[in-house]
C-alpha cells in the first residue's frame, strides 16, 4: 500500500467475464494522482482512436482522487470518463455523494470497464474482491427499486450503488450515472456508455479507513477539525448551507444573465416563481450532504399538489431550475421539480435535457417541428405540462423524443433550416445556464473545454473581478495578479482564465468538490497544499498542484486531437455573438474579433499551437508526458 492511495485498479472485461487487478506504481500516481488525470492517462493508453462510443470497445473509467474518502468536508468526488457518445471526444463527469469514498474503502482507486455483457449485469465489489452478477431482473426498473433489491440481495443496507436508469438503458446520449439516488455524474453521456455495456449497476462496500493509508493521519484529523470551523465562518458556506445553488436565480436575473427562452434574453419576467423564497415555501422538505461534508448544500423537495414529486431523487439545483424554468419560459417550480425527479429516475443530465427541450420549443415555434412530430403536443415556451412530458418522451425515445435523445447537434442536422442556429452547444454538449455575454471567461471555458460546454472548467469571472472581495484575495496564492471586470475580453483575461483552469482541473484530479477550496469557497490554498502532503508524504507546492491540473487538461486535449478535433471546434454558438435582447445587458454581445484574439492568447499561454489548438511537444515534455506528443503527430 502507498500513502494516500490503494495502488490498485480493478479491471473488468464484461465480454470475457474476466476481472483482474492492475497495480499502480507511486511514480506513475504522482503524475496522475487520480480523477481526471488518471482517467485521461488510462484512456490514451488503452483506448484506440476512433472506437465507437457505444460499442464494446469503449472503456469506462471510474476514478477516485487522492483525497476522495478523506474524513473532511468536500473530499468526496470521483470521475467517470470514456469516449463521449454525445461529443465523440473526451467524455468526463464528476460526482460527489458516497460511492467514491466507499470504493476507496473497498481497496480500489479506480475501475476500468470494457466489453459488453451478454445479458444485463451488475458488478459487486467488496474489500479487494469483485464479481459479475446477473441483473436481468433489474433492467428497466427505477433506481430506487434497484438500490433496494441489490442491498437486500447482498444483506447490507450500507452498500453504495452507482447505476443507470431508463435513459442509460435506451442509450440517450446525455444519460448519466447516479449514486445514492441523489448524486449524479450528469454530463457527456457516461450513462449511455454504461448502458451500451449492459451494466446496470456497480455496488461497493469496504471496511478499510482512509486514515489507515495516509502519511500523516493526525494532520488530516486536525485539518478536518479546522474545516468545521471554516465552514461556519465563511460567507460562501453560509449561503450554501441556507439556500444551496437555488439561491443563485435572483442574482443572475438581476445581472441580466439568467438564460431565458433558449438564451434569447437574460432576464425572465416570471423569475418570482423560481426564486429561493418560492422554492423554500413550495418545495423544500429537508437538507442533505455528501460523505463527511459539513457544507450540506443539497436541497430535498417533496410535492403533493399540481404535481406529485417524491423526495427520493433530491431537489433541483440552480442549473435545473434555470434550464427547465427560465430557459423554457416556465415560472412553475412544481413543474421544474417534477422534471428534475424524472431526470433523476431516468438518470438524464438535467442541463442537456432542459437545453434540448428549450431548443425543441424554439424549433416548434418557428415551424421546424410540427404537432405531427410531437404527437399533437404544443411544444411552446411556457408550456409546463408539455415540458414535463418531453422528459419522459426523451427517456423512452418516443416520437420526437427519439431524435432529441441524440442531443441538439444531431437533432439540428436532421431537422435542418435554422435549427443549427437554435442549437446551443459546444462540440455537441449543451450549454449550462450561465450566459457568457455577462462573464466572458466562462465563454472561453465553454469553447476550450475538451468535453464541450461546461460551467466548471474554471472559476467564474465574478470571483476575481473585485480586488476587495474575499474570493479575489483567496486566489492570490495561485498567482493571480490583478482583478479584471467580468465582461473584459483581453489577453490578461485569457491568461487569468488559463491559470484558474489549472486549479479547477487539479480539484477534479484530487477529488475535492468545487464548493471546497478557494477561491470559490472556504479552504485556503495553503491548506490544500498541506493536506495533499499529509495524505501522500510528497513535498508539494502550489506550482506542482497547478501542474497536476494542467497535465490532466493537456492529456484530455490530446485525446480530442487524436479524435479529429481542432481549433474550429473551440467556438461558441452564433447566438452568443449577438446582443441580448432585453434586460440590464440589452444590446451586449460577445465581439467575435475579441473572442478569437483571446483564444489565441489562451493557446499561447497554455503552450498550444494557436493554429491547430494542439499541445506542443515542448509543453507536453515540460509536463512529463512527452509520450503523448507522438499521438498528436500521428493524428
| CATH at 279 | 1.10.569.10
Residues 398 and 471 in one domain: no
**Predicted local distance difference test score (pLDDT) of residue 459:** 87
Of 191, 212, 233, the domain-final residue: 212
Residue 627 within any structural domain of the chain: yes
Of 212, 228, 263, the domain-final residue: 212
**Predicted local distance difference test score (pLDDT) of residue 359:** 98
Residues 190 and 42 in one domain: yes
Asked whether the beta carbons of 317 and 244 are under 8 A apart, the reply is: yes
- DSSP state letter for 5: B
* Count of CB atoms situated within 10 Å of the CB of 111: 24
Residues 399 and 306 in one domain: yes
Cα angle, residue 63 at apex, residues 60 and 65 outer, rounded to 5° = 160
Residues 55 and 179 in one domain: yes
Residues 472 and 369 in one domain: no
Residue 425 within any structural domain of the chain: no
d(CA 120, CA 123): 10
Q: Tens digit of pLDDT for each residue in 272-315?
A: 999 999 999 999 999 999 999 999 999 999 999 999 999 999 99
**Predicted local distance difference test score (pLDDT) of residue 2:** 72
Residue 64 within any structural domain of the chain: yes
Maximum alpha-carbon separation in the chain? 66
Residues 172 and 29 in one domain: yes
Residues 72 and 106 in one domain: yes
Asked whether the beta carbons of 56 and 115 are under 8 A apart, the reply is: yes
**Predicted local distance difference test score (pLDDT) of residue 422:** 98
Residues 34 and 122 in one domain: yes
d(CA 5, CA 65): 9
Range of the domain at 463: 440-634
Residue 400 within any structural domain of the chain: yes
Helix, strand and coil percent figures for the chain, each rounded to 5: 45, 15, 40
Phi, psi angle pair for 140, to nearest 5°: 75, 5
Residues 487 and 400 in one domain: no
- The number of distinct structural domains making up the chain is 3
**CATH code of 502's domain:** 1.10.599.10
Residues 446 and 413 in one domain: no
Residue 229 within any structural domain of the chain: no
Residues 459 and 538 in one domain: yes
Q: What are the residue ranges in the chain where pLDDT is below 50?
A: 1
**Predicted local distance difference test score (pLDDT) of residue 161:** 98
Residue 230 within any structural domain of the chain: no
* Count of CB atoms situated within 10 Å of the CB of 414: 9
Phi, psi angle pair for 378, to nearest 5°: -85, 90
**CATH code of 77's domain:** 3.60.9.10
**Predicted local distance difference test score (pLDDT) of residue 236:** 82
Residue 351 within any structural domain of the chain: yes
Residues 451 and 403 in one domain: no
Residue 300 within any structural domain of the chain: yes
Of 386, 417, 448, the domain-final residue: 417
d(CA 325, CA 379): 14
Amino acid at each position: 500500500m502507498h500513502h494516500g492511495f490503494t495502488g490498485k485498479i480493478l479491471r473488468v472485461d464484461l465480454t470475457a467475464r474476466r476481472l483482474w487487478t492492475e497495480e499502480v506504481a507511486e511514480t506513475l500516481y504522482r503524475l496522475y494522482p487520480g480523477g481526471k488525470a488518471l482517467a485521461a492517462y488510462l484512456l490514451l493508453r488503452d483506448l484506440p482512436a476512433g472506437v465507437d462510443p457505444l460499442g464494446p470497445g469503449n472503456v469506462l473509467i471510474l476514478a477516485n482522487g487522492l483525497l476522495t474518502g478523506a474524513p473532511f468536508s468536500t473530499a468526496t468526488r470521483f470521475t467517470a470518463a470514456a469516449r463521449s457518445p454525445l461529443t465523440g471526444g473526451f467524455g468526463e463527469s464528476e460526482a460527489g455523494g458516497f460511492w467514491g469514498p466507499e470504493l476507496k474503502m473497498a481497496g480500489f482507486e479506480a475501475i476500468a470497464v470494457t466489453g459488453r455483457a451478454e445479458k444485463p449485469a451488475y458488478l459487486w465489489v467488496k474489500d479487494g474482491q469483485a464479481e459479475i452478477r446477473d441483473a436481468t431482473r433489474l433492467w428497466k426498473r427505477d433506481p430506487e427499486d434497484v438500490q433496494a433489491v441489490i442491498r437486500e440481495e447482498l444483506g447490507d443496507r450500507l452498500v453504495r450503488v452507482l447505476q443507470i436508469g431508463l435513459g442509460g438503458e435506451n442509450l440517450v446520449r446525455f444519460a448519466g450515472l447516479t449514486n445514492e439516488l441523489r448524486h449524479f455524474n450528469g454530463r457527456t453521456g457516461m450513462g449511455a456508455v454504461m448502458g451500451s455495456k449492459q451494466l446496470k449497476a456497480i455496488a461497493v462496500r469496504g471496511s478499510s479507513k482512509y486514515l489507515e493509508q495516509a502519511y500523516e493521519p493526525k494532520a488530516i484529523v486536525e485539518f478536518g477539525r479546522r474545516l468545521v470551523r471554516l465552514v461556519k465562518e465563511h460567507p460562501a458556506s453560509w449561503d450554501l448551507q441556507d439556500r444551496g445553488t437555488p439561491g443563485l436565480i435572483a442574482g443572475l436575473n438581476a445581472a441580466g444573465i439568467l438564460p431565458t427562452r433558449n438564451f434569447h434574453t437574460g432576464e425572465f419576467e416570471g423569475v418570482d416563481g423560481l426564486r429561493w423564497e418560492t422554492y423554500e415555501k413550495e418545495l423544500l422538505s429537508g437538507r442533505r450532504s455528501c460523505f463527511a461534508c459539513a457544507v450540506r448544500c443539497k436541497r430535498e423537495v417533496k410535492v403533493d399538489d399540481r404535481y406529485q414529486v417524491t423526495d427520493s431523487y433530491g431537489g433541483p439545483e440552480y442549473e435545473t431550475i434555470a434550464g427547465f424554468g427560465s430557459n423554457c419560459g416556465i415560472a412553475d417550480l412544481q413543474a421544474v421539480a417534477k422534471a428534475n425527479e424524472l431526470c433523476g429516475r431516468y438518470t438524464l443530465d438535467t442541463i442537456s435535457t432542459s437545453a434540448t427541450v428549450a431548443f425543441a420549443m424554439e424549433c416548434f415555434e418557428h415551424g421546424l417541428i410540427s404537432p405531427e412530430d410531437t404527437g399533437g403536443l404544443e411544444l411552446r415556451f411556457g408550456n409546463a405540462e408539455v415540458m414535463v412530458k418531453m422528459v419522459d418522451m426523451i427517456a423512452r425515445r418516443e416520437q420526437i423524443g427519439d431524435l432529441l435523445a441524440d442531443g441538439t447537434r444531431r437533432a439540428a442536422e436532421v431537422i435542418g433550416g435554422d435549427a443549427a442556429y437554435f442549437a446551443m452547444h459546444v462540440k455537441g454538449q449543451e450549454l449550462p445556464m450561465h450566459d457568457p455575454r455577462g462573464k466572458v471567461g466562462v465563454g472561453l471555458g465553454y469553447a476550450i473545454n475538451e468535453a464541450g460546454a461546461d460551467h466548471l472548467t474554471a472559476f467564474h469571472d465574478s470571483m476575481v473581478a473585485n480586488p476587495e472581495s474575499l474570493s479575489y484575495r483567496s486566489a492570490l496564492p495561485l498567482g493571480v495578479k490583478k482583478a479584471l471586470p467580468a465582461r473584459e475580453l483581453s489577453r490578461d483575461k485569457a491568461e487569468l482564465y488559463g491559470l484558474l483552469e489549472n486549479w479547477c482541473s487539479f480539484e477534479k484530479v484530487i477529488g475535492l468538490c468545487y464548493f471546497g477550496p478557494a477561491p470559490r469557497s472556504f479552504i485556503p490554498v495553503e491548506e490544500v497544499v498541506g493536506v495533499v502532503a499529509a495524505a501522500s508524504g510528497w513535498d508539494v507546492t502550489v506550482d506542482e498542484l497547478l501542474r497536476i491540473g494542467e497535465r490532466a487538461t493537456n492529456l484530455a486535449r490530446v485525446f480530442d486531437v487524436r479524435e479529429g478535433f481542432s481549433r474550429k471546434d473551440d467556438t461558441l454558438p452564433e447566438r452568443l455573438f449577438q446582443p441580448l435582447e432585453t434586460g440590464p445587458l440589452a444590446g451586449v454581445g460577445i465581439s467575435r474579433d475579441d473572442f478569437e484574439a483571446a483564444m489565441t492568447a489562451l493557446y499561447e499561454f497554455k503552450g498550444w499551437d494557436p493554429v491547430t489548438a494542439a499541445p506542443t511537444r515542448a509543453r507536453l515534455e515540460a509536463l512529463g508526458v512527452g509520450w503523448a506528443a507522438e499521438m498528436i503527430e500521428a493524428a
